Every structure is written in structure tokens, then in C-alpha cells.
Amino acid sequence: MTPIGASPDVLVVGEALVDIVHRGDGSVDEKPGGSPANVAITLGRLGRRPRLLTHVGDDDRGRLVRAWLEASGVEVTGRAAARTSTATAVLDATGAARYAFAIEWDVDAAGADIPGALHVGSIATTLAPGADAVLGLVERARGRALVTFDPNIRPSLVTDADDVRRRVRALIERAHVVKASDEDVAWLHPGADLEEVARAWVAAGPALVVVTSGAEGALAATASGIVRVPAPRVDVVDTVGAGDTFMGALVDGLLDAGTSGSRARETIAALDGARLTSLLRRSADAAAVTVSRPGADPPTRAELDARG
């Protein structure tokens, strides 16, 4: 990973928090997390130079979060919160997580420097007052950087479903790349076919839409068509951070393909089916490493390369 201090090549914007995990064996542990923070960690471990614009407290949990991020080469910035947010995850017998949140989100993005790529996602894109600032940053970045978005809907935090769907739609229309889970799609478009939704989103703006379906694999939609890949077979410990690892590996792979900067859309549009399949397989491999061990613990580049 690259030491902190080098100029960032990816700006990640969103929540960093502490996951309080209740496991099936009755044990409880606290670990740093948060979807955008997990994406930043993944990018750092894959050798990128991520900066995370976030909102954590100057408290014991906040210091834990910062140390965790910085250990993987993530530069942390943003105004301090009154307290560090938490997400309580209760794992079922399969390792799947059900969440409850105690979170606040506020961020000053007006003066943020935008490098070649910007990733936004999850709670930070829909929770006031910070969500408006995130949208403003995306508006500012869309002509000069690769913009990626993962809605990562948290239904337990939704008080106004129409407002959340409006905010998600606005970001879909402005992003170059959207990655969503099948659960996100089901919440946003109840009863709709995943492939049809992916095609509709591409028509609305993004050059690439990826939908993940856990053990069922993933699909990618572009203006040229649909690509599908199966999920690697793996013994699942838990699914915490799996989608975020997939997202981070996808961004890393896209940057390897030269999609940063002002020509991001054109470069993505030029990717053929074989290159997209390779990107999806690599992202799925990264997620498979994460689900094979407890918590949000994405692979290093060496670990991912070792999978072939």
C-alpha cells in the first residue's frame, strides 16, 4: 500500500463508524466499518492512494476508526462529529447481517479537492444534512473525474422513502458507474427484474451498472449489453463488508483500465465484454476473500493476485 502523504488518486466520501457485531455463537465485538470507509480500506490495500472525507468523533471509537483507516494507507479528513456513529449487526446462522444504526452525517465538501476518481455511497448520500453536500460534490466532479456510486440502502434508517428514491435517482443519473446489490434494487424497484433495472439505469446516465446477487454472482450492463459472472465458491464466515470490497476492487480495476479523469465515460464505453468480465471476476474474487474471514477485512493486492 502507498504511505499516507502522497497525493490521493481517489476521493471517497461517506460514513465511517464502529460495527458492533452480535455473532451466532453469542459473542459480541466492536470493529471499525462503514460502507464508504470499507471501500477506502479496500482501495488502500490494493495499492491506491485513497482520501476519505468523513465525519467521526474525537472519542475512543473515533480514534479506533482513524487508526484502522490509516493502517491501510487511507488519509482521513473532515469535520469532527459530536460522537462516532455505530452500526449494530446481528448475524444469523448463515453469517448474513441485520443492521440497526445510531448515526449522524454532516460534511463540508465545498472545498474538497477532486482527484481523478470520486466514490460516494450508502448512508452519506441520503441522510441530511450531509447528503446535499455529497450531491453538490458529485455535480462538481462529473466533468473532471470518474464518479462511482453505491446506494447501499439501509431501510432501517429510511423515514421518507420517496425522498431517498429521489436522491438515489439523482446520483444514478450523474454517476459514470453504479454498483448496487439485488437487495438495493428490490427496495428501489419492488418486483422488478434485475436486468431490466440495470438497463434502465444505463439509459438514465451511467456508462456501467453492476448488480451483485451474493452467491448468485453479478451482472454488468452497458449500452452494448449484459455480462454475467458466477460467484466464487467459498466457505462464508460472514458477509460484513463484502459488497464494499467488491466496489473498491471494481474502482481499482477501472482505474487500471485508464478510466480516471475527464474521459472516464468514453473509456468505460470502450471496454469490451472480455474486459468487463475480467473486472467483475476480480471484484467477486476480492469479495470472496472478505466473506471467508470475520468482519470487513478486504484483501491486499498480493492476496488478490494470488487468486489468479
Residue at grid coordinates 462511482: 148
Residue 100 clears pLDDT 90, i.e. is over it = no
| Lowest mean pLDDT segment, chosen from 16-25, 271-280, 281-290 | 16-25
Percent of the chain past pLDDT 90, that is, above it, reads 81
Average pLDDT, the chain: 93
* CA quadruple 93, 98, 102, 106: dihedral sign: positive
Q: How far apart are CA 24 and CA 289, in angstroms?
A: 20
Q: What is the pLDDT of residues 187-232, one digit of tens each?
A: 999 999 999 999 999 999 999 999 999 999 999 999 999 999 999 9
Distances (CA, A) of 180 to 5, 27, 270: 32, 30, 22
Non-local (6+) Cβ contacts of 180 within 8 A are 150, 151, 152, 188, 209, 210, 211, 212
Q: What is the pLDDT of residue 88?
A: 87
- Cis-peptide, bond into residue 230, ω within 30° of zero: no
Check residue 241 and give left, alpha or beta (phi > 0: left; psi -120 to 50: alpha): left
Span 105-120, average pLDDT: 94
At 242, give phi and psi (nearest 5°). Answer: -65, -50
Provide mean pLDDT across the span 3-16: 84
The confidence band for 1, taking pLDDT boundaries of 50, 70 and 90, is low
Place of cell 500500500: 1
What torsion, rounded to 10 degrees, do the Cα atoms 57, 159, 91, 33 define?
A: -30
Q: Which amino acid is it at 93?
A: A
Per-residue confidence band for 156, with pLDDT thresholds at 50, 70 and 90:
confident
Mean pLDDT of 79-83: 93
Burial class for 67, CB neighbours closer than 10 Å (0-12, 13-18, 19+)? exposed
Q: Give the integer Cα–Cα distance in Å for 185 and 157.
A: 17
SS3 content of the chain, % helix, strand, coil (to 5): 40, 20, 40
Q: Which of 113, 100, 104 is nearest to 54 (CA)?
A: 104
pLDDT tens per residue, range 130-140: 999 999 999 99
Rounded Cα gap, residues 150 and 39, in angstroms: 10
Classify 181 as helix, strand or coil: strand
- Reported as a single tens digit per residue, the pLDDT across 34-78 is 999 999 999 999 999 999 999 999 999 999 999 999 999 999 999
User: What are the phi and psi torsion angles at 232 (to 5°)?
Assistant: -60, 145
**In the predicted model, is pLDDT for residue 96 greater than 80?**
no
Amino acid identity of residue 197, one-letter, is: V
Start-end of H helices in the chain: 35-45, 60-71, 130-141, 161-174, 182-188, 194-204, 242-256, 264-269, 273-291, 301-306
Strands 17-22 and 208-212: unpaired
Assign 17 to helix, strand or coil.
strand
